């Protein structure tokens, strides 16, 4: 096995730095978006505003950074704004958002398009909800029943799920297009206008 060249090492460092910066931006957006939605009178449980930046992070960054975005976003938001409530909601959301972000990132690393990876990652987040319920009831003394915890929250959050399916891939495709254009122009590979 050969040692990576200096240019390969520089590219890898650049990608790690980009992932960390973008991950930090998505955590900040994950804190600010719910504030904006609540101020506008749009319920967080309906539009799931914290999920959108976490999903975008998963679609754009390494799974390790995505994991931390999913974990830290609800914790930072709860600590700074009180939303979501610290217990039992914050740990439940952290697990859901970790699954969402890591699933999106791993699916993208297989070469899957954002248009396919986003709905599949959302499906993984929905699929993990019954498992979270089974763990949350004894550990966090969640008083909701299975129907309320799994089915009612899914039905209540459908507008947010649709928003994520439509908006996350669109925004990620735009970001990736800008990144590709920037890289190409900085290496001189773009034809002049």
Residue with tokens 């709905």: 119
Query: For residue 107, what are its two tokens?
Result: 């699916």
111 pLDDT more than 90: yes
pLDDT tens digit string along 57-107? 999 999 999 999 999 999 999 999 999 999 999 999 999 999 999 999 999
Q: State the Rg of the chain over Cα.
A: 18
- Cα dist from 49 to 29, 30, 101, 137, whole Å: 9, 7, 14, 25
For residue 123, how many other CB atoms are within 10 A of its CB?
A: 13
- Helices 63-81, 89-109: axis angle to 10 degrees equals 160
Q: Is the alpha carbon torsion for 11, 17, 20, 22 positive or negative? A: negative
**Domain-wise residue ranges, the chain:** 20-174
Alpha-helix runs per DSSP H in 40-141: 44-47, 51-60, 63-81, 89-109, 114-140
Decide: pTM greater than 0.75.
Answer: yes
Q: Is the pLDDT of residue 160 over 90?
A: yes
Give the model's pLDDT for residue 179. Answer: 72
CATH of domain 20-174: 1.10.1760.20
- Residue 193 confidence (pLDDT) above 60: no
Tokens describing residue 57: 């992070």
Instruction: Give how far the C-alpha of residue 171 lies from the chain's centroid of Cα atoms, to the nearest Å.
Output: 13
């Amino acid at each position: 096995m050969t040692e990576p060249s200096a240019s390969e090492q520089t590219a890898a460092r650049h990608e790690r730095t980009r992932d960390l910066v973008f991950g930090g931006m998505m955590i900040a957006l994950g804190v600010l978006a719910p504030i904006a939605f609540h101020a506008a009178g749009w319920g967080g449980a309906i539009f799931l505003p914290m999920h959108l930046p976490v999903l975008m992070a998963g679609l754009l960054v390494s799974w390790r950074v995505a994991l931390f975005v999913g974990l830290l976003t609800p914790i930072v938001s709860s600590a700074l704004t009180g939303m979501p409530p610290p217990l039992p909601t914050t740990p439940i959301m952290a697990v859901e958002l970790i699954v969402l972000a890591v699933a999106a990132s791993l699916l993208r690393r297989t070469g899957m398009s954002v248009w396919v990876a986003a709905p599949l990652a959302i499906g993984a987040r929905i699929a993990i909800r019954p498992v979270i319920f089974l763990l949350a009831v004894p550990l966090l003394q969640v008083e909701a029943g299975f129907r309320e915890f799994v089915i009612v929250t899914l039905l209540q959050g459908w507008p947010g799920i649709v928003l994520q399916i439509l908006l996350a891939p669109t925004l990620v495709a735009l970001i990736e297009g800008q990144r590709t254009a920037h890289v190409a122009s900085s290496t001189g590979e773009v034809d002049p206008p």
